[in-house]
Amino acid sequence: MIASERWMIYGATGYTGRLVVEHAVSLGLRPVLAGRNPVKVRELAKVHGLDHRIFGLEEPQALVEGLEGMKTVLHCAGPFVQTYRAMAEACLQSGAHYLDITGELAVLEGLHRMDDQAKKAGIVLMPATGFDVVPTDCMAMHLAERCPDGDRLLLAFGNFGSRISHGTLSSLLTRLGEAGAERINGQIQPRPLGRLLERIDWGKRSSWCISIPWGDLFTAGISTGIPHIVTMTTASRRLHRILKFQFIFNPLLRMPWFRRLLQAKVDRSVWGPSTHELEHGSAMVYGRITNPSGAMVEARLQLPESYRLTALSAVHLVQRIHELPQGVLSGFLTPAQAFGSKLITQIPGCAYLEESTEARPAL
């Protein structure tokens, strides 16, 4: 069905946007490419023989006109905290489903507040269709299904053998100097960044991880109702020690001029993983759920390199939404809410490692 339905990739010329375009074309799909830079968008569209549109996000009416005839928009233009609202509001007006590839807490919370509007418009708002949070959202639901009375969830992820992209690093710069966060008693509450340190066993390797305010603090809570959630990522013990003194530098890190200085450096020198890194890198997700009596269930996901996975999962979710009759899904939905915990295993290269099937006492 998607071959005959019009859909758009906005922000197609960014690092991840190009990966999404290449994967869509490899499947025989023909999205409309869009963005604000006429030279880059036209050049990319010409390479792949695709239709294109040129428009920015500043003028609401021009944005709505730019979405005319689209059933779905896959929004890939970050930092999303600066761009999501304009695109989501245009989707509400034009009747196009909104998907994006963010992992930013503020964006997830903001889109969730548009749930009623989306239901009235008959459209889906599904942010975070990439590495964060598709595998972790599915992991959270998978563990909740195996331990229904679980009330504490830990999610950890690691990306091995590749580097960060320009867009991801730019998004991180918008949050410099901010506190970390954890979900406590059902509410996302500020906690020191890197407060927790744990050595995670990934199955074939292990590494230190620290707590960070990742998007799953929001989405896993929505998907499962689990009241206590911690999210972690790989980091050295040295970084963990340094973060204890971050509060001293936070005022500087929040200064607009300092962020502009760092952004200029990122613009000059950061693009993203190489082709070799995309093909040979990998990612892992670890999950652990514990119930009030102390019984524990854990699981591990083996995944492709994280940016490659984002392209695979985002296009897969566009396809899944286009397969559904109009009106079957609407409102704010996480990927696992919409398509279940097994969604991740339908994406090439994603599989659970061998795991126990029964809850066992925590050590």
For residues 84 and 244, the model is more confident at: 84
For residues 159 and 126, the model is more confident at: 126
Q: Which pLDDT value is given to residue 262?
A: 58
Q: Are 290 and 296 in contact (CB under 8 A)?
A: yes
3-state secondary structure of 341: helix
The dihedral sign for the CA sequence 227, 228, 232, 238: positive
Q: What CATH superfamily classification does 2-130+308-340 receive?
A: NAD(P)-binding Rossmann-like Domain (3.40.50.720)
Domain spans in the chain, listed from the N-terminal domain onward: 2-130+308-340, 134-306+346-361
Q: Are 138 and 277 in contact (CB under 8 A)?
A: no
* Lowest mean pLDDT, pick from 3-12, 161-170, 296-305, 310-319: 161-170
Q: Which pLDDT value is given to residue 347?
A: 97
Q: In Å, what is the CA distance from 333 to each residue of 126, 128, 132?
A: 5, 10, 14
Decide: residue 357, CB within 10 A, 0-12 exposed, 13-18 middle, 19+ buried: exposed
Residue 359 pLDDT greater than 60, yes or no:
no
Nearest in space to 87 (alpha carbons), one of 75, 79, 95: 75
Pick the CATH number of 134-306+346-361 from 1.10.150, 3.30.360, 2.60.40, 2.20.70: 3.30.360
Q: How confident is the model at residue 159 (pLDDT cuts 50, 70, 90)?
A: confident
Q: How far apart are CA 48 and CA 52, in angstroms?
A: 11
Q: What is the mean pLDDT of residues 76-96?
A: 96
Given the structure tokens 């450096």, which residue do they identify?
Answer: 265
Between the ranges 113-117, 177-181, 263-267, 268-272, where is the mean pLDDT highest?
Answer: 113-117
Decide: residue 161, CB within 10 A, 0-12 exposed, 13-18 middle, 19+ buried: middle
